[in-house]
């Protein structure tokens, strides 16, 4: 597959409501859509799911966009992929990033092709930076490009990306899993009632110190048989562990990211934090503990597992740095009896549909964070509706991404567009 054009769109998706967690609120979703066009005219799309503010991880949308424009996209113009993962061989052979990328294609808006290297030098990173180094530093930016490359490669061959590259038996339907943000308790109970009435069997609650137990207890009392999970988004101090222990009787399927593990720069120090916690505390917490934003690679998964605190992994392709790293994490979970399930990022259908397909894996821990897209956005940019009927969604594995792009909606949401060819 020869790449003739790469397109980067900065899009803005107006949301139907403000989604609140312990770390912040989101009422307007900006994202980056990467398009990779081949010599045959086929285009594959990928999404960069970083947020505009570093409340989730340290990689922001601005950082992702910068590295794509100054390094990755110019580099891949005219490159040929001879296999699904050839892009990794190509970047491994890069001597450095940022020195000559401005000459690779006609992009000079930032006015400095060396931007990536200069900023890395300011952070104390030794030059030259290799492609693999940047991939590790900007996993979400790389994931968006990698996914677009994979969908173009597989789509051109007429095969499904997820169906072909992700091992494991798969269902042809998935069940919905609704995530409910921080809201007044009466509103929360009404929301749970409404989703259960529509056939949803799994609810995940955003939790924070102070009222976590009251919220879980109220939902469990109203719906004793529902699959219930929690997500603390790193909001509890170790000295607040009693509140986490108090969740033991409520049979949560998992609790995500209970303890604070970020430094002031937004970098996660989870291995150090959890290694320092008392072993007796680990034995006292009966709820299976799940990790999400603090695990951004296979190496970090191994390190967290070694602490003895990780029971379950939340799988998000963008956070893990692409589908190849996701597959490696899945393999590690399976070989070490670690539970896993499929998350979501308040993202467009370009990224969401990959997660829909991943959620069909028969050995997932529970239903993923996947519900009707119309909850979040008035219109999606893919043509396959992600809308559940009685809590269930049929999943197809068409070539490439598995669905088509609604070009009119994509154009409507596009804030700016840059083309390399």
Q: Which is it for strands 289-291 and 312-315: parallel, antiparallel or unpaired?
A: parallel
The CATH number assigned to the domain with range 3-158+407-420 reads: 3.30.390.10
CB 42 within 8 A of CB 399: no
All CATH 3.30.390.10 domain ranges in the chain, comma separated: 3-158+407-420
pLDDT of residue 337 exceeding 50: yes
Cis omega (within 30 of 0) on the bond before 128?
yes
What was the pLDDT predicted at 63? 95
Distance between CA atoms of residues 64 and 370, nearest Å: 25
Residue 112: its pLDDT value, please? 28
Strands 255-256 and 289-291: parallel
Please give the pLDDT value at position 313. 98
Coil, helix or strand at residue 380: coil
Distance (Å, rounded) from C-alpha 53 to C-alpha 122? 21
pLDDT at 16: 84
The string of pLDDT tens digits covering residues 233-274 is 999 999 999 999 999 999 999 999 999 887 776 677 899 999
Digit-coded pLDDT (tens) for 338-390: 999 999 989 999 999 999 999 999 999 999 999 999 999 999 999 999 999 99
pLDDT of residue 102: 36
Residue-wise pLDDT tens digits, 6-63: 999 999 999 887 776 656 667 789 999 999 999 999 999 999 999 998 888 889 999 9
- Binning pLDDT at 50, 70 and 90, where does residue 134 land? confident
Taking the C-alpha atoms of residue 66 and residue 159, their distance in angstroms, rounded to an integer, is 32
Measure the CA–CA gap between 30 and 53, rounded to whole angstroms: 11
Q: If you average pLDDT over residues 129-135, what whole number do you get? A: 78
Pinpoint the residues of the chain covered by CATH 3.20.20.120. 165-394
The single-letter DSSP state of residue 288 is P
Mean pLDDT of all residues in 280-292:
97
Say what the pLDDT of residue 374 is.
Answer: 93
- Residue of 141, 166, 157, 135 lying closest to 38 (CA atoms): 157
Query: Which of 410, 420, 402 shows the shortest CA–CA distance to 32?
Result: 410
Question: What pLDDT, on the 0 to 100 scale, is given for residue 319?
Answer: 96
Enter the DSSP assignment of 148.
Answer: H
φ, ψ of residue 308 in degrees (nearest 5): 90, 5
Cα distance between residue 41 and residue 302, in whole Å:
41
Q: What is the pLDDT of residue 269?
A: 87
Question: Residue 44 in 3-state DSSP?
Answer: strand
Residue pair 31/48 in contact by the 8 Å Cβ criterion: yes
170 bridge partner residues: 361
Is the pLDDT at 98 greater than 70? The verdict is: no
Q: Kindly report the average pLDDT of the chain as a whole number.
A: 90
Q: Write out pLDDT tens, residues 149-201.
A: 999 999 999 999 999 999 999 999 999 999 998 899 999 999 999 999 999 99
CATH of domain 165-394: 3.20.20.120
Asked whether residue 294 carries a pLDDT value surpassing 60, the answer given is yes
Q: Per-residue pLDDT for 101 more than 50? A: no
**pLDDT of 113-125, one tens digit each?**
333 333 333 334 4
| Tokens 């567009």 -> residue | 417
């Amino acid at each position: 597959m020869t790449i003739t054009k790469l397109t980067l769109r900065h899009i803005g998706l107006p949301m139907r409501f403000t989604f609140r967690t312990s770390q912040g609120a989101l009422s307007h979703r900006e994202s980056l859509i990467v398009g990779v066009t081949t010599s045959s005219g086929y285009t594959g799309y990928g999404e960069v799911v970083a947020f505009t503010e570093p409340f989730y991880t340290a990689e922001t949308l601005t950082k992702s966009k910068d590295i794509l424009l100054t390094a990755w996209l110019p580099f891949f113009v005219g490159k040929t992929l001879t296999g699904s993962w050839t892009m990794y061989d190509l970047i491994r052979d890069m001597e450095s990033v940022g020195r000559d990328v401005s000459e690779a294609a006609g992009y000079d808006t930032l006015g400095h092709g060396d931007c990536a290297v200069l900023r890395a030098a300011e952070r104390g990173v030794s030059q030259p930076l290799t492609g693999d180094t940047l991939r590790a530093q900007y996993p979400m930016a790389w994931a968006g490009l990698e996914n677009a490359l994979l969908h173009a490669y597989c789509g051109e061959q007429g095969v499904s990306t997820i169906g072909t590259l992700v091992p494991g038996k798969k269902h042809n339907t998935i069940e919905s899993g609704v995530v409910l943000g921080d809201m007044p308790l009466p509103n929360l109970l009404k929301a749970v009632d409404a989703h259960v009435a529509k056939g949803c069997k799994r609810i995940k609650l955003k939790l924070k110190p102070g009222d976590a137990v009251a919220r879980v207890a109220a939902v469990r009392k109203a719906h004793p048989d529902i699959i219930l999970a929690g997500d603390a988004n790193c909001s509890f101090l170790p000295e607040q562990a009693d509140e986490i222990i108090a969740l033991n009787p409520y049979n949560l399927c998992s609790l995500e990211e209970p303890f604070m593990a970020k430094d002031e720069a937004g970098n996660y120090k989870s291995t150090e934090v959890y290694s320092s916690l008392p072993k007796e505390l680990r034995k006292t917490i009966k709820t299976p503990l799940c990790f999400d934003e603090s695990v951004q690679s296979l190496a970090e998964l191994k390190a967290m597992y070694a602490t003895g605190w990780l029971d379950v992994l939340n799988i998000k392709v963008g956070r893990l740095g692409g589908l190849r790293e996701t597959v490696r994490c899945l393999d590690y979970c399976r070989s070490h009896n670690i539970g896993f399930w499929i998350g979501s990022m308040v993202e467009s259908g370009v990224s969401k549909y990959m997660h829909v397909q991943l959620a069909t894996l028969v050995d997932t821990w529970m239903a993923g964070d996947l519900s009707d897209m119309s909850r979040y956005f008035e219109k999606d940019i893919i043509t396959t509706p992600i809308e559940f009927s009685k809590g269930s969604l049929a999943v197809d594995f068409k070539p490439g991404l598995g669905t088509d792009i609604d070009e009119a909606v994509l154009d409507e949401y596009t804030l700016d567009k840059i083309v390399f060819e």
